Chain A
């Protein structure tokens, strides 16, 4: 590339705020097809996100956030993530996540026909991601 810089522009937008806007040299995301990592000059791609960790690499440092539900639009020099919810580890209420995890597990185990399995699984996945992400909190 003519442009020497290896940085790409990342924007993470959630409904209530612009969650993150800035440069990065490598981004990791979890899409419905699996985990992907994006460097500069990636082919244009739109992918669906599933609950997972977002890792923003810059100058050897990594910033981590929990993303739930959304999609990502990748262009050669920029990435736009539209997420229905995005949280930094510091913002996660670990107790609430633990409770949600327990609730979801109970619902899945109950074997009740009325349980919406897909939804309970999604809730469980979200809770697990929150718990995982909160482990990266900068204390």
Chain B
């Protein structure tokens, strides 16, 4: 049996760890609230952007635009959004796993990393990191999304990459975050066609400039908004995941402390009992 001193020391160390995790939980709860609200606020913009895009695609018929075709023979660009800091449970490893199981081979893609943790792991596994935007994750704003969007679209236009994907964690609610892998370019047309039947076909939309030209201007905007949406969702998920991880860590600490307290009391009791037995034994021997 461990000595009383050992148990006491162990208990104290767990207690201080518990305090840290509790504080971290509180911090991420506050951050979660803020980022959740922000993620909510981006939704109307995103929804309209998506609807407008789908509509234009549905009505523009068979136009031949590089943004709609892509080039499967070229490398694929993947924007991977993870976090800069750890202690967020499975948050980062889930997103890395998603990228590795996405069916895109490691030689066939370049990574545009947002978030140090994901970048480090992917780099270690031999993925090519084209660009690192990790500083963005401190608190993403729309300009960051524009920056990333401009870069990937430029690389697409320059022929460095033929397809663009976005890997991020979708924030469903406080307890469920779903790693998501979505295609940005070429824009998927199938989804757009489905939308058409729902929308009122009666309206005949005019475009200024022509639909094709409008498309090449709107698609970069659409990509920016997708990236921004992804960033906001991921930021909220990160804080949610950290809050959960810290919550269970705090619970585990409490449990261990109560367990150790019991052990400590037992050890103390047995020490006292032993002492009494010794004294009684000694007294008996003398008399």
- Tell me, rounded to whole Å, the shortest Cβ–Cβ distance linking A65 to chain B: 16
* Best-buried of A16, A33, A69, A80 by chain B (most CB within 10 Å): A16
Chain B: interface secondary structure? helix
- In the assembly, what is the distance between CA of A44 and CA of B199, in Å? 14
B209 contact set on A, CB distance < 8 A: 32-33, 48
Residue pairs across A and B with CB atoms within 8 Å: the count is 70
A70 contact set on B, CB distance < 8 A:
221
B72 within 8 Å of A by Cβ? no
Q: Are A43 and B41 in contact (CB under 8 A)?
A: no
| Contacting pair B142 A45 (CB below 8 A) | no
Residue of B nearest to A50 (CB): B217
Contact of B218 among A14, A71, A75 (CB under 8 A): A71
Residues of A within 8 A of B146 (CB): 84
Cα A45 to Cα B56 in complex, Å, equals 11
Interface centre among B141, B205, B225 (most CB of A within 10 A): B205
Interface magnitude class on chain A: 20 to 34
Q: Determine whether B92 belongs to the interface, using a CB cutoff of 8 Å to chain A.
A: no
**Interface membership of chain B positions 251-280, coded 1 if the CB is closer than 8 angstroms to chain A and 0 otherwise:** 000000000000000000000000000000
- On whether the beta carbons of B41 and A16 are closer than 8 Å, the reply is yes
B42 contacts A by Cβ under 8 Å: yes
- Residue in B closest to A71 when the chains form the complex, CB atoms: B218
CB atoms of A85 and B45 under 8 A apart: no
| Contact call B207/A46, Cβ cutoff below 8 A | yes
Ordered by A's residue number, 21 sampled pairs between the chains whose C-beta atoms are within 8 Å are A13-B45, A15-B42, A15-B45, A15-B46, A15-B142, A16-B38, A17-B41, A46-B56, A46-B207, A46-B208, A47-B214, A48-B218, A69-B221, A71-B52, A71-B218, A71-B221, A73-B48, A73-B52, A82-B49, A84-B146, A85-B142
User: Which 7 residue pairs of A and B lie closest in terms of their CB atoms, listed nearest first?
Assistant: A47-B208, A15-B142, A44-B205, A45-B206, A13-B45, A15-B45, A48-B217
